[in-house]
């Protein structure tokens, strides 16, 4: 039987014939830790007396706080620098840009290769037909030390884009249309391959924009079969840095896909995501007139030179509206320098924009792009979870729409910029569909002396009745520089309305029950470790975000997938029993013996759980 693209890549890097569901040790060509998470990786390696398998394939990238302006980030960056000097590891320091972009531009990764990083958008390298995965600190530490990680081969869906979009439609509009079609969990735990007449014509920057939002759909990765333009780009990058280009990988004609989805793109209009959920996508015209306070252009999704050029063409000869702050951050320093050399920076500054160091910007708390209470921002980023980019509201749109809106002072498209700016009173009501919240309502490392951990537990339950609880809701990015697990527990659910006092109420051994796609969003290990710190017994969900699931398993923290958990009709304070080996869950109410079956621990999960973590 033929193989999909992801099956071929994993097969080559594991030395095995693989199929969906197989768990294999996969060789990793590029192992990256960022300033976010990097210090924890160093801590994991040194506390477990582990070395570095191959320094030439191992890197640090400082892109979350490229100014070094936060004391905790500056400290963590220096911890990584010292470790890098000791082990002869290359550091892409605060003056270089976003690590995933550098991996492609510097020839570190090429079509058919594998990359892991503490960046939840490491799957962006799917733009060149390579496999990338964001992972937590323990995974990355293991990859540094062993050169491989365990991985479960995902199912693949085939997405066919039908038609050719009209000229003023951007790649961001296209990926927002895909996100609207699939939803926040439409790719949950899956890989996707893209095909269609238009796909082969998509340039590298467009592939990067689309691939970067696989995470927002719950996906493992989006893979584009590399076209000639991509192959030549990677060949040049690899030659320039004396690295060989791997042979591009393509799916077999008789590859078996989980399903095929066809999406029309010839009839889409400029699109925008409303605050709170990236998948809440509507035509821009539905929110036109919404007054804004700030605009942001950049991120790993839209920080390429082509994005900057679009913005410059719109801003040229114009001014940012009074009272509006426009922030622009190219994705890499090379792109920044090109913008400078070709006059784009001059256009940005003449229009009244603030131009920042190359880096992640608004997605990270330590750099420009954050907003304040009640501030309305329109952004080219890939996520707008509540609290992710500050305490205001964030709309997601294309570079053209963001630039046009910054000039108008309200949300509009590039074809509807007023000749004379007159900011109207907003008549648009904020969508509340996704903003309804429930009104009700330390573990550390296991003792090495413990040889057998319990495979059956009892505990009182906390029902957190929400789907798509992201990692910012669980553990806000303003606390990411904390490396002491004992300090993390106090921030658990600190950004989930109605649940900020959870750490004060929870008791040791309690079980948290949540909805679907729990832990979607970033790769932050703290979103797992905070529960370990307050000694939660287990988390039961209808499904987990792919990176979150790995992080929990790798720390030995018990999680169970149970699609039928609602059948138990549980309420806060009810007691249940959970069997990790069988997946059985039943209540301990008087005269109540109802049992449901969740997914039992896999062999990998039980092994890691029993030894107290991947690195133990």
Q: Quick one: 327 and 243 in the same domain?
A: no
Query: Is residue 172 one of the residues assigned to a domain?
Result: yes
The H-assigned helical ranges of 461-541 are 471-474, 502-505, 526-533
Convert 114-149 into a string of H (helix), E (strand) and C (coil).
EEEECCCCHHHHHHHCCEEEECCHHHHHHHHHHCEE
205 & 348 share domain: no
Residues 207 and 66 in one domain: yes
Q: Residue 520 carries which DSSP code?
A: B
- Which DSSP state fits 566? G
Domain co-membership, 387 together with 466: no
Residue-wise pLDDT for 245-276, tens only, equals 567 889 999 999 999 999 999 999 999 999 98
The stretches of 169-248 forming alpha helices (DSSP H) are 171-182, 204-211, 228-240
State the CATH number of the domain containing residue 41: 3.30.499.10
Closest CA to 303 of 194, 125, 172: 172
Mean pLDDT score across all residues of the chain: 89
Q: Are 110 and 238 in contact (CB under 8 A)?
A: yes
Stretch 372-389: mean pLDDT: 85
Q: What is the dihedral of CA 340, 342, 346, 349, to 10 degrees?
A: -60
If asked whether residues 278 and 242 sit together in one domain, one would say: no
Whether 421 is covered by a domain: the verdict is no
pLDDT the model gives residue 457: 94
Q: What is the 3-state secondary structure (H, E, C) of 576-615?
A: EEEECCCCEEEECCCCCCCEEECCCCCHHHHHHHHHCCCC
Distance CA 181, CA 116 (A): 28
In a 10 Å sphere around its CB, with 0-12 CB exposed, 13-18 middle and 19+ buried, how is residue 447 labelled?
exposed
Query: Cα(109)–Cα(34) distance, rounded to whole angstroms?
Result: 16
445 falls within a domain: no
Say if residue 460's pLDDT is above 90.
yes
pLDDT mean over 459-463: 95
- The Cα 350–Cα 370 span in angstroms is 23
What is the predicted pLDDT for the residue at 526?
93
The interaxial angle of helices 546-554 and 603-611, nearest 10 deg, is: 40
pLDDT at 442: 36
What integer pLDDT is reported at residue 73 of this predicted model?
81
Is residue 361 in some structural domain? Answer: yes
User: Is 242's pLDDT higher than 50?
Assistant: no
The residue among 394, 416, 438 that closes a domain is 416
Q: What is the pLDDT of residue 592?
A: 63
Identify whether 432 is part of a domain: no
* Final residue belonging to a domain, choices 264, 285, 308: 264
Nearest to residue 184, comparing CAs of 438, 1, 433, 439?
A: 433
Beta-ladder partners of 597:
584
Residue 315 near residue 403 (C-beta atoms within 8 A): yes
What is the Cα–Cα distance from 146 to 464, expressed in whole angstroms? 38
49 and 166 housed in the same domain = yes
List pLDDT tens digits, range 74-96. Answer: 888 999 999 999 999 999 998 89
Classify residue 288: in a domain, yes or no. Answer: yes
Percent of the chain with pLDDT over 90: 74
Backbone angles phi, psi at 16, to 5 degrees: -135, 155
Is the pLDDT score of 451 beyond 50?
no
Nearest to 462 by CA among 504, 501, 514: 514
| Mean pLDDT in residue range 97-118 | 93
In angstroms, the CA 602 to CA 23 distance is 9
Beta strands in 224-342 (DSSP E): 259-264, 271-273, 281-283, 294-297, 325-328
- Do 58 and 202 lie in a common domain? yes
- Best CA proximity match to 218, nearest among 141, 275, 281, 134: 134
How far, in Å, CA of 376 to CA of 384, rounded?
12
Q: Which domain holds residue 124?
A: 5-264
Number of domains comprising the chain = 3
CB 565 within 8 A of CB 598: yes
Does the pLDDT at position 517 exceed 70?
A: yes
Residue 490 has pLDDT above 50, yes or no: yes
Q: Is 422 a domain residue? A: no
Q: How far apart are CA 542 and CA 213, in angstroms?
A: 22
Q: Rounded to a whole number, what is the distance in angstroms from the first to the last CA of the chain?
A: 38
Give every CB contact of residue 194 below 8 A, 6+ residues apart in sequence. Answer: 159, 160, 161, 210, 222, 223, 224, 225
Q: Which residues pair with 281 in a beta bridge?
A: 273
Query: Would you say residue 315 lies in a domain?
Result: yes
Q: Give the tokens for residue 201.
A: 């014509």
pLDDT, position 473: 93
Place of tokens 């000097």: 85
pLDDT at 384: 82
Q: Is the pLDDT reported for residue 243 higher than 60?
A: no
Query: What digits encode the pLDDT tens for the residues 520-554?
Result: 988 889 999 999 999 999 999 999 999 999 999 99
| This prediction's pTM | 0.82
* CATH code where residue 568 lies: 3.20.19.10
Among 220, 237, 264, which residue terminates a domain?
264
Same domain? For 305 and 259 the reply is no
Mean pLDDT confidence for 234-248: 63
pLDDT in tens, 323-373: 999 999 999 999 999 999 999 999 999 999 999 988 887 776 556 767 888
State whether 60 and 183 are in the same domain.
Answer: yes
> How many Å is the maximal CA-CA distance in the chain?
76
Q: What is the pLDDT of residues 172-194, one digit of tens each?
A: 999 999 999 999 889 999 999 99
Answer yes or no: do 218 and 97 share one domain: yes
Which pair of tokens denotes residue 217? Answer: 């759909």
For the chain, give the percent of residues with pLDDT over 70. Answer: 92
Tell me: pLDDT of 426 over 80.
no
- Domain co-membership, 258 together with 303: no
Asked if 369 and 383 count as a contact pair (C-beta separation under 8 A), the reply is no
Compute CA distances 424 → 315, 352, 408, 428, whole Å.
Answer: 21, 21, 10, 11
Q: How far apart are CA 176 and CA 409, in angstroms?
A: 23
558 pLDDT above the threshold of 70: yes
pLDDT value at residue 246? 62
Do residue 219 and residue 340 come from a single domain? Answer: no
């Amino acid at each position: 039987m033929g193989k999909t693209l992801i099956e071929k890549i994993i097969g080559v890097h594991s030395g095995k014939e693989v199929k969906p569901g197989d768990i294999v040790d996969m060789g990793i060509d590029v192992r990256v830790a960022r300033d976010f998470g990097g210090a924890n990786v160093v801590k994991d390696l040194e506390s477990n007396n582990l070395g570095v398998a191959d320094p030439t394939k191992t890197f640090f990238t400082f892109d979350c706080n490229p100014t070094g302006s936060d004391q905790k980030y500056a400290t963590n960056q220096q911890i990584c620098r010292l470790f890098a000097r000791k082990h002869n590891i290359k550091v892409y320091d605060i003056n270089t840009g976003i690590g995933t972009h550098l991996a492609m531009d510097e020839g570190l990764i090429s079509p058919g290769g594998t990359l892991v990083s503490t960046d939840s958008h490491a799957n962006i390298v799917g733009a060149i037909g390579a496999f990338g995965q964001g992972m937590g600190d323990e995974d990355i530490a293991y990859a540094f030390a062993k050169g491989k990680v365990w991985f479960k081969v995902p199912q693949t869906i085939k997405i066919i884009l039908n038609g050719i979009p009209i000229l003023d439609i951007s790649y961001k509009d296209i990926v927002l249309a895909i996100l609207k079609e699939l939803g926040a969990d439409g790719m949950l735990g899956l890989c996707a391959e893209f095909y269609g007449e238009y796909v082969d014509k998509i340039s590298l920057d467009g592939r990067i924009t689309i691939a970067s939002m696989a995470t927002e759909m719950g996906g493992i990765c989006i893979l584009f079969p590399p076209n000639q333009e991509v192959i030549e780009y990677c060949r040049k990058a690899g030659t320039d840095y004396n690295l060989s280009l791997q042979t591009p990988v393509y799916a077999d004609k008789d590859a078996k896909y989980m399903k095929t989805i066809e999406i029309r793109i010839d009839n889409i209009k400029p699109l925008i995501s409303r605050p709170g959920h990236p998948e809440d996508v509507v035509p821009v015209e539905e929110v036109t007139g919404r007054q804004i306070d700030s605009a942001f252009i950049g991120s790993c999704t839209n920080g390429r030179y082509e994005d900057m050029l679009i913005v410059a063409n719109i801003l040229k000869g114009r001014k940012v509206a009074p009272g509006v702050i426009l922030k622009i951050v190219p994705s890499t320093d090379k792109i920044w320098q090109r913008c400078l050399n070709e006059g784009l920076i001059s256009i940005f500054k003449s229009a009244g924009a603030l131009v920042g160091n190359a880096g992640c910007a608004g997605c990270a708390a330590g750099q420009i792009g954050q907003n304040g209470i009640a501030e309305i921002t329109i952004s080219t980023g890939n996520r707008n979870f509540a609290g992710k980019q500050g305490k205001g509201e964030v709309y997601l749109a294309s570079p053209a729409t963001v630039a046009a809106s910054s000039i108008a002072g309200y949300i509009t498209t590039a074809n509807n910029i007023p000749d004379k700016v007159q900011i109207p009173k907003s008549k648009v009501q904020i969508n509340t569909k996704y903003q309804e919240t429930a009104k009700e309502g330390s573990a550390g490392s296991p003792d090495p002396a413990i040889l057998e951990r319990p495979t059956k537990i009892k505990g009182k339950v906390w029902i957190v009745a929400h789907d798509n609880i992201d990692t910012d809701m669980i553990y806000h990015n303003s606390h990411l520089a904390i490396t002491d697990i004992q300090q993390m527990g106090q921030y658990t659910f600190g950004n989930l309305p109605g649940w900020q006092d959870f750490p004060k109420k929870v008791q040791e051994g309690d079980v948290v029950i949540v909805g679907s796609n729990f832990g979607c969003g970033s790769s932050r290990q703290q979103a797992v470790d905070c529960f370990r710190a307050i000694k939660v017994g287990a988390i039961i969900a209808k499904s987990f975000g792919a990176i979150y699931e790995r992080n929990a398993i790798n720390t030995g923290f018990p999680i169970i997938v149970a699609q039928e958990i609602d059948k138990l009709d549980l309420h806060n304070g009810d007691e249940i029993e959970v069997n990790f080996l069988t997946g059985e869950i039943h209540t301990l109410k008087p005269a109540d013996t109802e049992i449901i079956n969740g997914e039992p621990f896999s062999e990998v999960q039980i092994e890691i759980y029993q030894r107290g973590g991947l690195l133990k």
